[in-house]
A and B are shown apart, each in its own frame.
Chain A
């Protein structure tokens, strides 16, 4: 790493000296062309004309907008037109290892960050993070500020193009953590990004476009990125899954989790893939329990109960739909049905206590409401049957009328006597 960086530095100086001759003529024209556009102060710096690429990368940067100039990080004299003199004051490419301190120079300065309402603990958080620790141990490849935020063209988190925009975070972390070679060198697995893509969290983030969905940083932290310890897992998941967290404290798995013998949520749901289907989770029981242990049996009982509740909800929902289509007034029933659905929705978080009674209570609340809906629907279905039954007398009457007309016609025909119509049934 180090030699390459050194070479870069020499290249830069070489380029600078070769530029020098043309500078006097070239720069005057460039300045003449750019200056009248009336741009902000930093724009009149003399870096841009040579460092076109960097200037282009900075185009939309928040730093450029807020008046942070090239020289604030790289040194040099921005007022100097002559390359040699402009670069005289130790112009450098910032060494990777020094980036956190350099950024912290402003971003850890409370006075400076105050107007932007930005936190100032990033540097100290970084230093306690796994990235920071490894950097301190001399791993020069490890991620620093610029690896996630870019060096030039730093964008606000709110900008969809920013690498730290929620939707881009998994890709940004995945650049290193999904790189098999890079991870292997440090004895780490590189499967996390791929597993995350299959998770319910990724489905929310990418398919539903829900920006509040958890990304890597939601569980691991952003600047203070560390893998949560076993005992902390319930708290990490509990940040969003409040109800589950609360209920889990009543679970038989809670004590083992505290003692560090049970990996909390992750034990059953796994960490990055976040298993969701009861069938997948059921398979995890076997990791610790025999099939004849009461635990797995209780699991089956609980989910049988939940399935029954769901089925009842669905059945009533279908009846409701059908009656609505048939032209019945079902709005009041729909409100009740929605309430039953709400009660039912609480069962899934609620079953984390692995306590059949809690589930039973919630499910029966939903079912009581459903029974009310069913009763009301029953009545409507009865009137639907009555409508259909009404067809019998209606047809009876109409057939009798048709018969009467027929008979009358025959009678009239007969009265017409000897001249019946031969082509009657043509």
Chain B
């Protein structure tokens, strides 16, 4: 009996080397992290948690969702009103997508100010920027799917921006829309991209990102080329994982709270004959949206393409050796200025074409974000 068991074990061991797999996993898990690994290092793994959340809730939503213009809206309404907890699952998915952007931004800021993108981790950074781009476009494709007024017109404006690209713009827009205007063809395209193409791309690139990160180890704060093996650092499991557990529990609490208190609205069904007033994109597109207003179409698009390109190539542009942010004032200043500019343009975009009250006075903020007293702009 015992002999039989041992034989089976041996047979299995040869074909499925449990020991080796175990050793590989445990080596990876217990690899010591540098001593400065902080609470700020949890943003990346939180983003991975949100990806899991998006995939699970996304699959659940797909169960009732129908990507057809005459039933998409109705199916989302069914999810919201009839399917048990449908409103909650949609809330987790919709809010998760926004939290994802926030977490990725925080993760990027952390990486930037700790100089973790420098040699030899340039490619990890490049992959990360690609992931960020995918996350932004992911939100854009998902926005159309409920087929309500907001999604319909936001998509119309978004694809219009893409249409302004030099040379290939018009063709690119036609390719995106599957025709000349947002319609059933567009919905199918966005759906396929949203539920098949992007999820695989995101998971694949995330895996590459994580593998690169594990293979090279977390960056220390030492100068480039003078990195020492982390000494006395605590292992990923269980030490850092527990730290993530704490953050994760609190984060989950916030996600659930927001989904319960402010479930995403459904709005009105898309109506191609009725353009709502002052349609605006999601908040993370606002800086781009506002920037485009100040420049003629072509120039504006080029200017909007500059920041992502610079961001992608940043590790190759900034070849200094210091990592501590006090010792590299120029790149830190550029970073802070970029954040400020994004904030300013985002706020201008948010308040443009609305009425605000400042110090008891009413202003109408115009297209360009300039507040005007109502007498200055006679409105019909």
Contacts and interface: CB of A to CB of B under 8 A. Distances in A.
Direct contact between the two chains A and B in their complex (CB within 8 A): yes
A395 B90 CA distance: 20
A371 B43 CA distance: 51
Interface string A382-426: 000001101100110011011001101100110010010111111
B81 A328 contact: yes
A398 B254 CA distance: 10
Interface stretch (B169-177, B189-197, B235-243, B304-312): B235-243
Given A327-B87, A409-B243, A423-B36, A402 B249 contact: yes
Contacts of B261: 388, 391
B256 A422 contact: no
B238 A388 contact: no
A329 interface: yes
Interface residues of B, number: 31
B114 to A, nearest CB: 10
Contacts of A399: 249-250, 253
Contacts of B2: none
B165 to A, nearest CB: 37
A327 B80 contact: yes
A325 B261 CA distance: 12
A231 B272 CA distance: 53
Contacts of B238: 408-409, 412
Contacts of B87: 326-327
B228 to A, nearest CB: 14
Contacts of A422: 35
Given A406-B246, A421-B234, A391 B36 contact: no
Given A398-B250, A425-B38, A426-B36, A409 B242 contact: yes
Nearest to B251: A398
Interface in B240-267: 242-243, 245-246, 249-250, 252-253, 256-257, 260-261, 263, 265-266
Interface in A294-339: 325-331
Interface string B22-42: 000000000000011111000
Contacts of A419: 232
A391 B260 contact: yes
A405 B81 contact: no
A328 B78 CA distance: 10
B204 interface: no
Contacts of B239: 409, 412-413, 416
A402 to B, nearest CB: 4
B82 interface: yes
B120 interface: no
Contact of A402 (B36, B232, B246, B256): B246
Contacts of A426: 36, 38
Contacts of B243: 405, 409
B265 A325 contact: yes
A394 B249 contact: no
A423 B232 CA distance: 11
A391 B256 contact: yes
A402 B35 contact: no
Interface string A255-274: 00000000000000000000
Contacts of B17: none
A388 B260 contact: yes
Nearest to A328: B81
B166 interface: no
A423 B253 contact: no
Contacts of A394: 253, 256-257
Contacts of B263: 326-327
Contact of B253 (A328, A329, A395): A395
A422 to B, nearest CB: 6
A384 to B, nearest CB: 9
Interface in B7-21: none
B245 to A, nearest CB: 4
Given A327-B263, A329-B81, A388-B261, A405 B246 contact: yes
Contacts of B82: 329
A163 B355 CA distance: 43
Interface in A214-228: none
Contacts of A387: 260
Nearest to B257: A391
Nearest to B36: A423
A166 to B, nearest CB: 26
B204 to A, nearest CB: 30
The 6 closest A-B pairs by CB, nearest first: A327-B87, A405-B245, A329-B81, A409-B242, A402-B249, A423-B36
Given A327-B87, A399-B253, A406-B242, 9 more contacts: A326-B263, A327-B263, A402-B246, A406-B246, A408-B242, A409-B239, A419-B232, A421-B234, A423-B37
